[in-house]
Structure 1
Amino acid sequence: MTAASSSSAPETEAATEAATGAPLLEVRGLAYDYGRVTAVQDCGFEAAAGGVVALIGGNGAGKTTTVQCVAGALRPRAGTIRFDGRDITGLPAHEAVELGLALVPEGRQVFQQLTVHENLLVAGRVQRARADLSANLDKVYTLFPRLKERRAQNAGSLSGGEQQMLAIGRGLMTGPRLLILDEPSLGLSPILVTTIFRLIGALNAEGITILIVEQNLHQTLTMADHAYVLEKGRVVRSGGGRELLDDPAVKAAYLGVA
């Protein structure tokens, strides 16, 4: 998917990167251990500016650990992570956000005791997005009218689908260039899953690069420009999203199709 033209900073940046052909994100030789257990080993992939890239694989494949390393939530044991040509390996999450990386974590992790509006304000006060706070709030409430209706409601009292909307909205409040989504459809009804994927497509069409970890492989691979299959923390297969969707090995291993 290509970025739509716009005057906003993230979209202009994405258009420039796409024109040069350089990937926005490059991961090489990434490794991470939980004590003596290796979760990620020699993992490498890249994401082109303005595209949608998927990481797929079974439970325990290292997908969540990988994106947490990219976003600065975990510090890798080895490897390099480059964002827009800059080495950000081991950069703390709060500094990665200021560069334009936003992680929407698995399990939503909204601030339960804060209202919907307060959750959004907390995210929108990062230095990168502070000047656009009002515009970003309007954008989130336009994308998610239900959040606007519940803006004064504590986040902990929202439904699972509403909390997922809030988690994505919180990520958007930071003005991301790269939006990392970890299992965004987990636990949602089929109708809400369709809604979330439509939203992801719309955000990508605005110029936001998407990196997605997702168990719903059919919708994910249909949308993805490129996808990587992880097993035991390594990339074992890669290709276009639809190419992998038609791959017999992928079908057998992850879609239950012989």
Structure 2
Amino acid sequence: MGMPEIHFPKWGVWAAAVVAAAAVTGGVLVLPSAGSDARTLDSEPEVVAHALESVEFESVGQMAVTSPAVVRATVTAVNPGRIVGAGETAEPGEESAATQAREVTLQVTQAFSPNGRTTFPAPIKVEEWGWDASGDGYQVNNYKWSEVGKEYVFFLRGTAATGWNVISTEGRAEIGADGFLSSSAEEGSELKQSIESYDFIDLSIYLKRIYDTKNPPPDLPTAAEMPVAGPSGYENSPLPTAGATAEPTDLGTNDGSEPTPYPSST
């Protein structure tokens, strides 16, 4: 039996740009919750939130030329990240509409960018969602939570909030022990098939070729047009709140997992 699902009509931009205020206790961000002064955070997602991306990439090449950089990186730590929406009004009976990101630290081992101009000399941090105000975990679309010690390919863009972030929920692929890729793109999509047709060695050769802007290949994909900004009010929320087509009454634990304190870095 899979996780419960919530459907949203529009995902918009992958990450918000404004940091909301949060309390800090013992180095771990916490939020008030009903009946207690602090909450713990689920160690795994309980809910899948489905939403449409602002841009639908047709191929790994198009997503790559739209991304300022692509990196091969190992996840070295995952910690509670920024909190958004803490001051917003929630549904009746709920104390807060706040949601909290997961801050993922990456050790970059290989980087690809136009003519190799972008470098990553130090660990970088990206974010993914996340936890609701009660500490219940959720993932967005097919983008499963990143795991410490695993190696991934990230298609990156610049953001005001974190410096770098994944270009969309479809912009990450896990590198398997055999070198082949497992994409976070939608199951059965052309993009997922395109990404997973490569192993990492072949993908790296392809990325170097299409990022050589001094000698562009004749089959260079056309970059997708990225939105300048999300819809009004989106900057304060990682997920739209209007127009939900389905919403479970309880986002709490229901698959056997238990909430555990963070950080979970090793």
**TM-score (normalizing by structure 2):** 0.25
Richer in helix (by share): 1
TM norm structure 1: 0.25
Higher strand share: 2
Larger radius of gyration: 2
